[in-house]
Amino acid sequence: MSALVSAAGPAVVLSNLRVAFGKVQVVDGVDLTVERGQALALIGESGSGKSVTLRAILRLFPESRSRIEGGIFAAGKDVQALGKRALADFRGGDVSMIFQEPLLAFDPVYTVGQQITEAIHRHETITKADARKRALALFERVRIPSPERRLDNYPHEMSGGMRQRAMIALALACHPQVLLADEPTTALDATVQIQVLLLLRELQRDLGLSIVIVTHDLGAAVEVADRIAVMYAGKIVETGTAHQVVLDPHHPYTIGLLRSRAEGALEKGARLQTIPGSPPDLANRPAGCPFAPRCFLAEERCQTEMPPVGEIAPGHRVACWHTDEAASAYRAGPTPVRAIEPLPA
Amino acid sequence: MSVIPDTPDPFIRDRGGPAQPLLSVSGLFKHFPVRKSGGKKQVVRAVDGVDFEVLKGETLGIVGESGCGKSTTAKLLMGLIERDTGTLLYDGQPVGERSMPWRAYRRQVQMVFQDSYASLNPRMTVEQSIAFGPKVNGVPGRQAVERARALLARVGLEPKRFAGRYPHEISGGQRQRVNIARSLALEPRLVLLDEAVSALDKSVEAQVLNLLLDLKQEFGLTYIFISHDLNVVRFISDRVMVMYLGRVSEIGPSDAVLAAPMHPYTRALLASMPSLDPNNRTQAALLAGDPPNPIDPPSGCRFHPRCSLAEPVCSQIEPPLETIAPLHRVACLARQPGSGHSAAPAGALAA
């Protein structure tokens, strides 16, 4: 474990992370490593546990109502072992987070500038003027136009894209090593989304930030991430570099996600390849592979036994009994999905 | 064949023949008053002079960013909010007058909304929700329920299991199927889908899109499909209309508009779609900043402050929507002969 908590180790390491709310096991054994300076995208559908995994890194859940098990190491610290005070220092100081809806994440009754300087004062002993100077520099860094004036704006006076930039400035205020982003562009317009994605990429490159971004949009993931992890029903089913996952997928669920995109249709008006059914109810998780009821390759073993994680290529790990069949089906072209579409459960 | 009884309904059948547009919209305006601090009265120009036609049997996609007026347009078409000015012709008949009263019009034009949960009554079972419209229109109770069950089956929800459920007991994708079934209960000819698949997960979205294609064919429907997702619009639409700040900037066959866009804004929209190829990621954003505020839109062409082709003339003249190729109309001075823009083509196409 000492290697995991050293300053030179990976930025984030999750080992067999399990998160439960009451009886519902939302995250069920996640192993994940994010190297320093790397951007990783966690993708999956709603309810797959991707946001919960991300928030667990900051232990953002009330302890009385959640159970977090397994190892969480981030920015050289063992997060599970942090006391109350140390955890508060850790949040924002070592690892910080941006959220989907910046209007909800900012306090509406303080100006954005006040909120940023407040965060700086919480973590450092610094004069007011210096804190303000730093906030101004941050606004310039994230390219907010007329930054001096914008610091004195209230959140509602900014547009959506600018608020998300301000949110990023706030997250970077205390020089964190790791930036966690929970659907940072989902609420933004298309032309603004690409600007924010490019900004994240630039920050990763210039500041050496490690980024974990959660998104349901494969396109957004490809734009920023070096590595992609695909989650389904609380488990990571496939991880690899963006190339490996998007161009050479080995898990039937990843293949389904790629195929069901509208731009994947061969011709306009042709039926889309869909994944039949809908994600499982986490309270009644099926035995075996959780994807088996929707999988085009499922057989008896899949219903009863959870497949182990196997390494296809260096860094490319997939949890499936049929990785070879899946990959060759993908390469063969878009017809492996069963023609019949069973009724959604 | 129709289960909607009534005495022979003079409104229900086709009148003008296939060549007549199902819906013609012209000069549509909607300004919302807002009060800014200081008491000065201002208006949001949500829809600011929109003209278009919806042809029989087609799918018209409407795309644009938030604030461009696409949802307001949909609500105006449904009569959910009152238009300031403008005419709607449904199959040649002016809507809201004696020849086509709102009540008859709404029976033929139905809408599906983005928020599948908010658009269902939480105190009605899905079957009751679907049967409600036909009942109001005079279908006997039992027949309406039978029809509701048939529609549920048609949208892929087994009536035995789903008819008695309440909206909170089913998933988002299933709720949207219920909404689609409800919109079909009155046998409409035109269905407005306002971001109907946007809130769904990708794998569910694909299922619902397939369903929409099937239903269109089976019931001979015409769709107006509003979305911010260009991929989805490209997939489902025959024609595409691009809106920017309350006006139409480009309209035409979807292949033409999305493959060879003429308006710089359409170009920028297409360029800002995330790439799916890790070897070929987007290098630079074509547009900086957010869409401007529709309260105080820029003079002349509304896009000129963000446009790469902008010239002084663009801030003075508001470009009309002109035909530049068959069915393809663009509101950009740089594409219109004789507009005074230096990039404008020579007058050959003008006739």
Distance CA A55, CA A60 (A): 6
- ipTM (interface predicted TM): 0.80
Q: Inspect the interface and report whether the beta carbons of A161 and B66 lie closer than 8 Å.
A: no
Computed over every residue of chain A, the mean pLDDT equals 88
B255-272: average pLDDT: 91
Q: How far apart (Å, rounded) are the C-alpha atoms in residues A308 and B195?
A: 40
Q: Which residues pair with A72 in a beta bridge?
A: A14
The predicted pLDDT at position B9 comes to 55
- Answer whether A341 touches B (CB < 8 Å): yes
- What length does chain A have? 345
Integer Cα distance of A214 and A227 in angstroms: 12
Cβ atoms of residues A63 and A55 within 8 Å: no
SS percent in chain A: helix, strand, coil, step 5: 40, 20, 40
CB contact under 8 A, A198 and B290: no
Q: How large a percentage of chain A has pLDDT more than 90?
A: 66
Q: What is the Cα–Cα distance from B265 to B308, expressed in whole angstroms? A: 9
Other CB atoms within 10 A of residue B237 CB: 26
Tell me whether A242 touches chain B (CB under 8 Å): yes
Cα(B310)–Cα(B307) distance, integer angstroms? 5
Nearest CA in chain A to B287: A191
Taking 50 as the threshold, does the pLDDT of residue B350 lie above it?
no
Confidence label for B125 from pLDDT (cuts 50, 70 and 90): very high
Counting DSSP H helices and E strands in chain A, the numbers are 14, 12
How much of chain A exceeds pLDDT 70, in percent?
A: 92
**CA neighbours within 13 Å on the CB side: how many for B275?**
17
pLDDT-derived band at B81 (thresholds 50, 70, 90) equals very high
Supply the pLDDT for residue B3.
53
Contact A217/B at CB under 8 A: yes
Pairing of strands B239-244, B59-63: parallel
Kindly state whether B284 is in contact with chain A, defined as any CB-CB distance less than 8 angstroms: yes
> What average pLDDT does this structure show over A200-218?
93
Domains and CATH numbers, chain B: 23-243 (3.40.50.300), 298-351 (no CATH)
| Integer angstrom CA distances of residue A171 from A153, A263, B270 | 18, 34, 30
Chain A contact for B308 (CB, 8 A cutoff): no
A76 in contact with chain B, both atoms CB, cutoff 8 A: no
pLDDT single digits (tens) B177-189: 999 999 999 999 9
Q: How confident is the model at residue B285 (pLDDT cuts 50, 70, 90)?
A: confident
Q: Structure pTM?
A: 0.85
Which residue do the tokens 């002079």 mark?
B49
Q: What is the pLDDT of residues A64-74, one digit of tens each?
A: 999 999 999 99
The whole-number average pLDDT for the span B131-152 is 94
Chain B CB contacts of A218 under 8 Å are 202, 276
Average pLDDT over chain B reads 88
pLDDT above 80 (res B226): yes
pLDDT at residue A345 in the model? 37
The nearest CA of chain B is from the CA of A224 a distance in Å of: 9
| pLDDT at res. B296 | 84
Work out the minimum CA distance from B157 to partner chain A, whole angstroms: 7
Phi and psi based region of residue B86 (left: phi greater than 0; alpha: psi -120 to 50; beta: remaining): left
Task: Say yes or no: A328 contacts chain B, CB-CB below 8 A.
Answer: no
Distances (CA, A) of B155 to A8, B177, B180: 55, 6, 8
Q: Which pLDDT does position A249 carry in this prediction?
A: 93
CA A296 – CA A25 distance, rounded (Å): 26
- A21 forms beta bridges with A24
For the residues B19-32, what does the mean pLDDT come to? 93
Asked if residues B66 and A189 have their Cβ atoms less than 8 Å apart, the reply is yes
**A195 reaches B (C-beta below 8 A):** yes
Measure CB to CB from residue A274 to each of B207, B229, B286 and give the nearest one: B207
Q: Which two tokens stand for residue A23?
A: 């009886």
Tell me the C-alpha distance between A305 and A321, whole Å.
Answer: 9
What's at B203, amino acid-wise? S
- Do the Cβ atoms of A10 and A177 come closer than 8 Å? no
pLDDT grade for A336, boundaries at 50, 70 and 90: very low
pLDDT score, position B192: 96
> The tokens 């908010």 sit on which residue?
B118
Residues of A (222-241) whose Cβ lies below 8 Å from B: 222-223, 241
pLDDT of B5 higher than 60:
no
Q: If contacts are CB pairs under 8 Å, which of residues 14-73 in chain B contact chain A?
A: 65-66
d(C-alpha B335, C-alpha B350), whole Å:
11
Out of A162, A194, A260, closest to residue B202 by CB = A260
Q: Where are the domains of chain A?
A: 250-332
